[in-house]
Structure 1
């Protein structure tokens, strides 16, 4: 009942269009329920659709069902990547992040499992390391080699690959469902009295074991935005680039087989935009921007535009002749565009750290 009242209050705030005058508690309530929890619920639903598409493909493999399974993978990828500004709470404490999204993939061991006589089942997948399951295992099995093409001929699929696809999609769906349940119903599976984590985040106070004040929650949100801006700039983009073209490393590119890397990075920054503006899908309400507006309306607007600009710069990395990030880093102009994105993302990180984070205590 308490969670329902908080969500109702958040929705009333959105309908009333009072985002610019929002209190810290109103920001926290809206982001907790209508951004973060909504993202995880969508992820859970999307992984169900992915499992269904994989099953249909395996039962009737043809070009159309393969395309549908590939589309479903990309569809599930969107809410996951759009959650990376808030990788705290159950996704961390329950160890769900690595089970969903470990990269790089252990291709050597994966190929060994596929070549073995072992029966591949969900139970077997659960017993394997995190770099042998999750999004990127499914991606590797569904798409091309990622170097010359992101397509895969039907003739390349084996019975073992079909088994692995179905089993991994099943386990992926279970992990996503557990994450959504942890936010909506019970964050600690070992404690029957534990509420959904959305309640924990939305109700800071002296008796809250994680967040004793509104400032503590706002700090968590701002630091989450800072972390993913840094990771995209100096990890996901910079690491595969190396120091020069000669040291560029395709093996470090995330989502290379599907040529989905740039979309991944864009949705990572979209997660910053969601927390900052309070906007997710059709839901609009107060985000961290409302906090900044109380102190400096011009800065608040500039930051929003900077976030949007970073997303566009990431998309601009895409090679004009086709391909994705993994191809762009091997060309001088692609690397130059990537450096522009890195610079803008580092500037965004600095603004969040130096001009937004100090506001949480004011």
Structure 2
């Protein structure tokens, strides 16, 4: 079991967070370039397209990290800071027409201003604020959009596009800091020196956490998991760690995809919603990449269970994977779990390729198919987690 956990950490968690941090840096640089060129009047479509491409790359790694949101992402509230939705248009309008906000995002330290004052515009931070600036109606925004003096989106026509670009640059830098914090939380001082230096120059990010970005034992979360059975371990046994990967990690995001990310808007659109459901609770509506996001969440689960990244093109679990552990120990529902995993991915692939975006038809029958398949996967994950928790350490 220890080798399985070690492989999970080294082959899945570690490279995911390293790549996310690097791609968030690329996104920041692309957004900074967009802002500086918009301000100078030299912005091109290529500059915008480069920022959109960088956004998609970072977004993929983030969505594929969501099967291990336990630990640094949840303990330090990084997830809600960089990935809350839906975006509040009124909040964005107020912020970008507020003289103090405009001064802050154009001041000496716009990134710290955004971090310190985000309570005034919390719905427009992180990925979804950037998505709104960069995409509209499923397409990259045009240079004509950005070069216009004011926004053209209904309800936002009082917003200056220069200020919008300045806001995006500050938000992208805040996002970069938070992904560096996430990387540091799991891997400690082994992360790239440039990332450590950036955090040292943005100590407000580290100081804003309970344990200076680390686990409760003041060690990286990677070590916190690997020290199972020891005094400074997150769990007292290996089987408890594996159970947490299934339940606290994989099942958590699986249930969210089915009941919330897909479920809320579907229920509202089909007249079966409750007062707690919202018709606009749809992730990534401006880029129209909702199904891609949700599929990447399921690939995050597959990566975790197969013990390797890139499972879009991999059908065989690696030697020290969780799936191989189940198979080698005669887990009776192995085939059911594997089938449920691949069927959930296939349903989302069909929806993704249908040409019908979730935002456009949340009541489409394909949405119900996706919900059912992801629900079935969640049941299979919980069954496997329960079985794992009944095993003795091996």
**Which range, TM-score by smaller chain?**
0.7 to 0.9
Q: Please give the TM-score of this superposition, normalised by the length of structure 2.
A: 0.78
Aligned residue for 1:261?
290
Per the alignment, do residues 264 and 285 of structure 1 end up closer, same or farther by CA in structure 2, a change over 3 Å counting? farther
Q: Please give the TM-score of this superposition, normalised by the length of structure 1.
A: 0.84
Aligned residue for 1:275?
304
Where 1:210 maps in the other structure, the secondary structure is: coil
Instruction: State the alpha-carbon separation in 2 of the partners of residues 336 and 133 from structure 1.
Output: 32
Identify unmatched segments of 5+ residues in structure 1.
1-23
Where 1:176 maps in the other structure, the secondary structure is: helix
Instruction: State the alpha-carbon separation in 2 of the partners of residues 131 and 278 from structure 1.
Output: 34
One of 196, 202, 212 as aligned partner of 1:189: 212
| RMSD across aligned positions (CA) | 2.4
Aligned residue for 1:20?
none
Instruction: State the alpha-carbon separation in 1 of the partners of residues 343 and 320 from structure 2.
Output: 21
- 1:156 and 2:145 aligned: yes
Indicate the larger mover: 254-263 or 200-209.
200-209
- 1:312 and 2:337 aligned: no
Aligned residue for 2:125?
133
Matches within 5 A, 1:140-179: 140-144=132-136, 146=137, 149-157=138-146, 158-179=161-182
Where 1:124 maps in the other structure, the secondary structure is: helix
Instruction: State the alpha-carbon separation in 1 of the partners of residues 287 and 251 from structure 2.
Output: 27
Question: Larger helix proportion, structure 1 or 2?
Answer: 1
Matches within 5 A, 1:275-294: 275-281=304-310, 284-294=318-328
Per the alignment, do residues 220 and 160 of structure 1 end up closer, same or farther by CA in structure 2, a change over 3 Å counting? same
Q: Give, in angstroms, the shift of residue 306 of structure 1.
A: 2.2
Query: Which deviations, in whole Å up to 9, do the C-alpha atoms of 1:109-132 show, x marking residues without a partner?
Result: 112111232321212211213323
Per the alignment, do residues 267 and 30 of structure 1 end up closer, same or farther by CA in structure 2, a change over 3 Å counting? same
Q: Give, in angstroms, the shift of residue 211 of structure 1.
A: 1.1
Indicate the larger mover: 46-55 or 116-125.
116-125
Instruction: State the alpha-carbon separation in 1 of the partners of residues 172 and 351 from structure 2.
Output: 30
Aligned residue for 1:229?
254
Query: Which deviations, in whole Å up to 9, do the C-alpha atoms of 1:200-236 show, x marking residues without a partner?
Result: 1122014135211112211110101111111101110
One of 20, 31, 55 as aligned partner of 1:73: 55
